[in-house]
């Protein structure tokens, strides 16, 4: 009996940690690594989409000059904002290459 109760407590803690990193929409959970199309399928269209670019340094070796050089590439990404009403938090979802890479909560929605 004690083992069963410990198992149920551990299971509850794992379920709680999953919801901390995922976004719950109705009966579905969107998590990091899911596609943006799945996010739209489960949660609908976002309230707002912000489009940004991040400069990523890439270090390469130039064998003709015999030295390392740093080049920068622009990596586009989007931040989708969801507003689920005044009883839930605003959610900011970062999309890179069509994949959910970050899920952050903000203050209560409106």
What digits encode the pLDDT tens for the residues 52-104? 999 999 999 999 989 999 999 999 999 999 999 999 999 999 999 999 999 99
Beta strand 67-82 with 48-62: parallel, antiparallel or unpaired?
antiparallel
CA pseudo-torsion sign 53, 55, 56, 62: positive
Q: What's the pLDDT at 26?
A: 87
What's the number of domains the chain is made of? 1
pLDDT above 60 for 50: yes
User: Could you list the residue range(s) of the whole structural domain that residue 72 is in?
Assistant: 2-108
* Helix runs in 33-80, H state only: 36-43
Report the alpha-carbon distance of residue 21 to residue 33 in Å, rounded: 11
């Amino acid at each position: 009996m004690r083992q069963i109760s410990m198992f149920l407590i551990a299971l509850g803690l794992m379920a709680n940690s999953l919801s901390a990193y995922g976004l719950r929409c109705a009966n579905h959970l969107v998590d990091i690594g899911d596609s943006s199309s799945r996010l739209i399928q489960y949660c609908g269209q976002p309230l707002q989409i912000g489009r940004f670019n991040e400069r990523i340094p890439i270090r390469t070796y130039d064998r003709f000059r015999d030295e390392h050089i740093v080049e920068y590439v622009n990596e586009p990404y989007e931040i989708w904002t969801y507003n689920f009403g005044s009883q839930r938090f605003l959610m900011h979802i970062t999309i890179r290459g069509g994949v959910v890479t970050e899920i952050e909560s903000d203050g209560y929605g409106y």
